[in-house]
Structure 1
Amino acid sequence: MADSGVRDTGLISIGKGIYLHKPLHNANHLENLNSKGRSQLAESLQPPTFILIFTWMGAKVPHLLKYSNVYSEIYPESTQIIVRSEPSFFWGSKSTKEAHLQPVVEALELLGCLPPVLNCSKLVREATIEPILPYPAPRVLVHAFSNGGSWQLSTLGDILSCRARSSQYATVKFLPTALVLDSCPGHGGINGTLRAFSGVIRSPILRGVAKFVIRLIYLYVALRRKFSFSRPRTALDHMKARLQSVDLLPWFSEDTPRLYLYSMKDDVVPYHEVEKHAEQTRALGFLVTQEKFADSPHVAHAKVYPQQYWGAIQTLWESASRVKEVTTSDG
């Protein structure tokens, strides 16, 4: 059933909490972008073929529209796929998580960004998605918010890595890809996790159950670490490591730059956790940029510092494109 909450927003519901925003083909003059700091260089670069956005847990349509609309202004030629994050995703089984993200996979197939399969859901078919590429070699910008969005991104990466062999993707080099990590990843401890879940569960009863389960999980992990000779690998550990993999998504490479956006006043994911992950990623050989904000709350940096925030994202895409241009000329 289509999501009535996106009516008249430009978003097309293709699954539960998953939306498609088609490119604005006729938007050649972008008078409204001066406040966002769009540079002349950005106008001369090829835009992303598609922008994949994974929201923070509990984000509503009005929240995600604030980001989708700006992306439409900066890159009007880009298709957007937006995935909302809900608490139920984290309690689900592996098969449930894969089924939840299946519309994303199907949409990417129909866009020509993945090798095709035969079947797709009714909602995706009704979205009348047309291929935008003759082969699976898109220019990709990915934006993940908080641990919730990062978790879904890493899950999608796992799905796509199992779905097709690398030989099924066209061997096309020099296409820019970039990753934005907003307020993530990090381990906020039990208090940060409780705040993240408590803020999005309205029912006092369900909120109490969630808090109880979270405390049990933390107790279980603590006991395993205490009585195990080797440090047990948690789901959060897997997610953080997946974000540092060369093939996080099938179009990514060692040249894919990462941008970390975070704040010293984040009370859900501490800034030193984000910085630790950024330093580890840089040590692995990736191009890493960090944009630290002084006092913006969790996932609210764009609201408090819009020019700095969107300027950093545009600079990231310019950097990704320059890396490919240099690689092409050297090759």
Structure 2
Amino acid sequence: MASNAPTPPTKASPLAFMTKISPSAYVYTPPSDNSNNTNTNGDPKFIILATWMGARDLHIAKYLLPYLSLYPSSSILLLRSEPRHFFSKTAGPSDVAPSVPFIKSLFTPSSQTGTSEDKPQVLIHLWSNGGSLLLHHLRLALTPQLLPKYIIIYDSCPGQYRYLSAFRAFSAGLSGVLYYLVAPALHLFCAWGWFWHVLIGKNQTGPLAYLNRGHNDVEKLGEREVRRGYIYSEGDELVHWSDVEAHAGEAKKVGFKEVRLEKFEGTGHVAHGRGEENQKRYWEVVRGLWEGTLC
């Protein structure tokens, strides 16, 4: 994957080449000599990466850099999910709002000259339920007509509410004394969520159920979405494989035409591209979904 993509200057700051426009949003515009139109060089015009909750810079870079290498002429929006986005109704919308002017600047009428309305121009990749939440807020901030046709990759998501999965997600990164101080409150919070959304709500209530329905809203998304793929594994301890397959099955049922399941063996949550063989297959899946060439 040779390219002219920038290399992060230091390990301590692997996202330094991007422009931070909000506490959770970063943008990247390729050099002028790389920024050809997607219809002339095959690259997406725009890539949206919505990462998992609490993702660290170094871990994000392991996905960001291959994207820069694969598609050097693509502009990129990076959305980072944090726990506060699940606890505050205003944090997510506030953090994604500055992304809207950037997107508008890419898809002005003049920028569409010479493009084919049948081809996707945008590639969306979201990881876990955290990425799912921020993508939801971004969609609410955009008018339906603003974002051109796209393909979307659901990585380690979407999942339904599960007690242990919720606890593991919110306690990730905690250790030592801090873990023992915070864990009891997290257990209570997750137990409350299980009681209301699973026992009482039958997995039809709560933020995850709301997000899952939103991703399969064919009336709002059907005309814009060209194809979708799900990357998942039975080794994922945070998002159960059956939840992913159930969501994909529902997508087909309601009318999404191209739905692809890519099941990896034994890989963990947001880690399906680790290891030489998995990494090769992972990026072949990404490229194949974008190009529509997966067998």
- Aligned twin of 1:124: none
Q: Is the 8 A contact 2:155 2:230 kept in 1?
A: yes
CA shift digits 1:160-208 (9 cap, x unpaired): 2xxx4x5x659xxxx6510000010112510111111111345333443
Deviation at 1:111, TM superposition (A): 3.0
Aligned to 1:285: 255
User: Aligned in 2, Cα 1:191/1:56: closer, same or farther, shift over 3 Å?
Assistant: same
Distance in 1 (alpha carbons) for counterparts of 2:29 and 2:224: 29
What is residue 136 of structure 2 aligned with on the other side?
Answer: 154
Q: Which residue of 2 aligns with 1:296?
A: 267
| 1:207–1:22 distance in 2 versus 1, CA, 3 Å | farther
Q: Please give the alpha-carbon distance, in whole angstroms, between the structure 1 residues aligned to 2:288 and 2:15.
A: 31
Corresponding letter in the other structure for 1:211? H
CA distance in 2, matches of 1:134, 1:92: 40
Within the candidate set 96, 101, 104, 2:96 is matched to 101
Structure 2's unaligned 5+ residue stretches are 1-11
CA distance in 2: counterparts of 1:108 and 1:260, whole angstroms: 25
Residue 253 (structure 1) aligned with residue 229 (structure 2): no
Unaligned ranges ≥5, structure 1: 29-41, 116-130, 323-331
State which of 154, 163, 168 in structure 2 corresponds to 1:195.
168
Task: Specify which of 7, 12, 17 is matched with residue 24 of structure 2.
Answer: 17
Instruction: Return closer, same or farther for 1:7/1:225 CA change in 2, 3 Å cut-off.
Output: closer
TM-score by length of 2: 0.81
Task: Give the alignment partner of residue 314 of structure 1, picking from 257, 268, 287.
Answer: 287
Please state how far the C-alpha of 1:84 moved relative to its aligned partner.
0.8
Shift of 1:140: 0.8
Query: How many residue pairs are counted as aligned between the two chains?
Result: 273
**CA drift at 1:87:** 0.5
Find out whether 1:234 has 2:206 as its counterpart. Answer: yes
Decide whether the 8 Å contact of 2:235 with 2:265 is kept in 1: yes
SS across alignment from 2:52: strand
CA RMSD of aligned residues (A): 3.3
Partner residue of 1:274 out of 244, 249, 252: 244
Equivalent AA in structure 2 for residue 256 of structure 1: V
Query: How far off is 1:234 after superposition?
Result: 2.3
Structure that is richer in helix per residue: 1
Go from structure 1 to structure 2 and tell me whether the alpha carbon gap of 1:133 and 1:237 turns closer, same or farther (over 3 Å shift).
Answer: same
Paired AA for residue 244 in structure 2? V
Instruction: Between the two structures, name the one with larger relative contact order (CA 8 Å, sep ≥ 6).
Output: 1
Check whether the contact 2:24–2:96 (CA below 8 A) recurs between aligned residues.
no
Asked which structure has the greater CA Rg, the reply is 1
Counterpart-to-counterpart distance in 2, 1:260 and 1:236: 17
> Is the partner of 1:85 in helix, strand or coil?
coil
Residue type of the partner of 2:19? Answer: I
Structure 1 residue 60 displacement after superposition:
1.0
Residue 268 of structure 1: CA displacement?
0.7
